Amino acid sequence: MRRLDQLLSSLGYCSRKEARAWCGAGRVREGDAVRADAGARVDPTRVTVDGLPLEFPSGLTVLFHKPVGLVCSHDPRDGRRVYDALPARWLLRTPRVTSVGRLDKDTSGLLVITDDGALVQRLTSPRHHVDKVYEAVLDLDVPPALVERFADGIELHEDGQVEKTRPARLQLLEPRRVELTLREGRYHQVRRMFAACGLTVTALHRTRFGPWSLEGLPPGAWAEVSA
Ligand code: URA
């Protein structure tokens, strides 16, 4: 049970003050009963505003097919954000809605978006071995020997130190097209792994994240999932 004014403001509907006005005007119901008192405690899953059920009253986790050109930043100064492609109300929710890890502006594909901090922890911690699968196009033919090098780990320079990546599974699909499965998520990791081997990634797309795939989700579309 949640206090109605807190509930509506945390889901991005209105301020707590506005909630008092909305309730007073009879716009808010719990089941069939009008809730005129914004301080009432209610079951979020039974509340309606103007006859419509609340959106994601118990938490929000969706898959988003990120098109190229959007940034995974909350700062509008960084460019057009993935959040700008999603319902505006989501940006007003607390806890904050965020992407699980980031995809580069030039990368397309599967992005998990959630307000569940524990889920973010679980999906990003290397201890949990969550597979992330990418398709990459390279500027040159990929030498078959790279399969073993990626399985062994690639040395990347990070903060003045050299760190080896965890074993990664590389499959050659075409001379210049590969599928790569990672279990970690370092900054620009795919591009840097190939760069360390003398190749440039010219297109990058994430097809899977843990149990989820992009199946049936066109670019720019999102779909709710149970986390
Ligand atoms: N690795 C990259 O280099 N870029 C991404 O967007 C994701 C993984």
Which pLDDT score is estimated for 226? 79
Q: Is 89 in the pocket of ligand 1 (CB under 6 A)?
A: no
Q: Does domain 61-124+213-224 have CATH number 3.30.70.580?
A: yes
Q: Is 103 in the pocket of ligand 1 (CB under 6 A)?
A: yes
**Whether residue 104 lies in the annotated active site:** yes
Q: Does domain 131-209 have CATH number 3.30.70.1560?
A: yes
Task: Tell me the C-alpha distance between 51 and 29, whole Å.
Answer: 8
* From 5, 32, 37, 104, the catalytic residue: 104
Which pLDDT score is estimated for 171? 98
Q: Is 99 in the pocket of ligand 1 (CB under 6 A)?
A: no
Domains of the chain by residue range: 2-53, 61-124+213-224, 131-209
Q: Please list the ranges in the chain whose pLDDT falls under 70.
A: 227
CATH topology of domain 2-53: 3.10.290
Q: What is the DSSP string of the chain?
A: -EEHHHHHHHTTS--HHHHHHHHHTT-EEETTEE---TT-EE-GGGEEETTEEPSSTT--EEEEEEPTT-B--S-GGGSSBGGGGS-GGGGG-SSPPEESS---TTEEEEEEEES-HHHHHHHH-GGG---EEEEEEESSPPPTTHHHHHHH--EEEETTEEEEPPP-EEEEEETTEEEEEES---TTHHHHHHHTTT--EEEEEEEEETTEE-TT--TT-EEE---
Cis preceding-peptide flag for 53 (omega within 30 of 0): no
Global confidence as pTM? 0.94
- Dump pLDDT digits (tens) for 117-168: 999 999 998 788 899 999 999 999 999 999 999 999 999 998 899 999 999 9
Nearest CA to 137 out of 82, 187, 190, 203 is that of 203
Domain 131-209 in the same topology as domain 61-124+213-224: yes
